[in-house]
Amino acid sequence: MYRSESKILTDDVEIGHRIAYWRFKGQRVVMTNGCFDLLHLGHVDYLERARALGDVLVVAVNSDASVQRLKGPGRPIVSETARYRLLAALEAVDTVLPFDADAPLELIRRVQPAVLVKGADYTPEQVVGADELPQWGGRLELLALVPGFSTSELIARIRRLD
C-alpha cells in the first residue's frame, strides 16, 4: 500500500478514530469538499491555503455517481479512485473522505471541523454545513480562486482543441 492510499478513509470506525486522535492532540481540523475532477493548479493552491488555516486538512470527495448527478453526463473525466489517490498524494491533504451523497452534510457533522472551507464562488448561504458550524464553534472561510483555473474551463479548452 502506498502512503497516499492510507490517507483515504472509507470505514466509519477508522474515521471516528482519526478524528478523536486529532481532537485529543488539540489539532485544529480544517475541512473542504468537492469533485476535484481534472486536478489542476487552482485545486492545489486552494488546498494549500485551506491547510494553512489549521493543523489537519480533511477533504471530502464526491464519488463518480455523485459527480455525474451534479455535473451531468460525461463527468467526471477522472475516475473516483484516481481522484482520491491524486488528492491523498498532495502534502497539504491529511485525509480524503469519499462520499456518495450530493452533499457531504453527514460527514461535516461527523468531523465537526474548526474551519469549513469553500471557494469564494460560493456565498455563505450556499455552503452545505455552514448553518451547523456554530453548534461546535466552527467557522466558515471562503477562499478566492486562482483566475483561469477551473475544471469547466479546462474541459472547454480541451474540447476546442479537438
Q: What is the pLDDT of residues 74-111, one digit of tens each?
A: 899 999 999 999 999 999 999 999 999 999 999 999 99
Q: Which residues contact 57 (CB under 8 A, 6 or more apart)?
A: 30, 31, 32, 47, 50, 51, 92, 93, 94, 95
- What domains lie within the chain, and their CATH numbers? 3-161 (3.40.50.620)
Q: What is the pLDDT of residues 106-136, one digit of tens each?
A: 999 999 999 999 999 999 999 999 999 999 9
pLDDT band at 157 (very low <50, low <70, confident <90, very high): confident
Could you tell me if 125 and 87 are in contact, meaning their C-beta atoms sit under 8 angstroms apart?
Answer: no
Q: Which residues contact 91 (CB under 8 A, 6 or more apart)?
A: none
